[in-house]
């Protein structure tokens, strides 16, 4: 049977070969997604997206952006450590950081999918612009939007930092290890 570009149909290949072909296509690593962000600090909303993405991809790389134009509360290393701690029970999640274009980082990791959480229409407008830009830079990169769990739809790292700064409770907003780290950054706040 003649096929275009030596491609064979699913039936011709046999169902048992699909997994190995998928792994071969991804350089033996399976489907790799990157969830980029500042994570300053990581919130329960971030963790929810990480957990959900980990069920959709073979590997999820949570990539901390090292943005030298911002003055973060936590250093890149601190953010990586906090993320490693809160994701330690998710075996297919890796923590990394980058300071270059996201598409270059993705190429270096063999990843083709960006995962982004969407809380609102405002988020969508910004994320659509970023997704379009990344796709323009590398046409093989796709962005997957995950709707935020409604209970975290208002939550952001900026809100968490503001509440912690003024000694408010962040107990239900961040994982316990992040709550402890915030206590260190803002002494005198309640546990």
Positions annotated as catalytic residues are 46, 70, 119, 157
DSSP alpha helices (H): ranges in the chain? 10-13, 18-25, 44-54, 76-86, 102-109, 121-137, 157-165, 176-185
- Number of neighbours of residue 139 by Cβ within 10 angstroms: 8
Find, among 50, 149, 138, the residue nearest to 95 by Cα. Answer: 50
Q: β-strands 59-65, 93-98: how paired?
A: parallel
Contacts of 129 (CB under 8 A, 6+ apart): none
Find out whether 64 and 39 touch, Cβ atoms under 8 Å: yes
Find out whether 34 and 171 touch, Cβ atoms under 8 Å: no
């Amino acid at each position: 049977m003649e096929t275009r570009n030596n491609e064979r149909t699913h039936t011709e290949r046999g169902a048992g070969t699909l997994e190995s072909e998928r792994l071969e296509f991804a350089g033996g690593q399976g489907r790799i997604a990157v969830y980029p962000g500042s994570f300053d600090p990581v919130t329960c909303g971030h963790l929810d997206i990480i957990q959900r993405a980990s069920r959709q991809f073979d590997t999820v790389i949570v990539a901390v952006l090292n943005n030298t134009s911002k003055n973060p509360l936590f250093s890149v290393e601190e953010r990586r450590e906090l993320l490693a701690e809160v994701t330690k029970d998710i075996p297919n999640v890796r923590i990394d950081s980058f300071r270059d274009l996201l598409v270059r980082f993705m190429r270096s990791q063999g990843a083709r999918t960006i995962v982004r959480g969407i809380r609102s229409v405002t988020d969508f407008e910004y994320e659509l612009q970023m997704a379009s830009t990344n796709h323009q830079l590398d046409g093989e990169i796709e962005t997957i939007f995950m709707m935020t769990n409604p209970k975290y739809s208002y939550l952001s790292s900026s809100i968490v930092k503001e509440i912690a700064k003024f000694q408010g409770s962040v107990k239900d907003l961040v994982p316990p290890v992040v709550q402890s780290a915030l206590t260190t950054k803002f002494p005198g706040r309640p546990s």
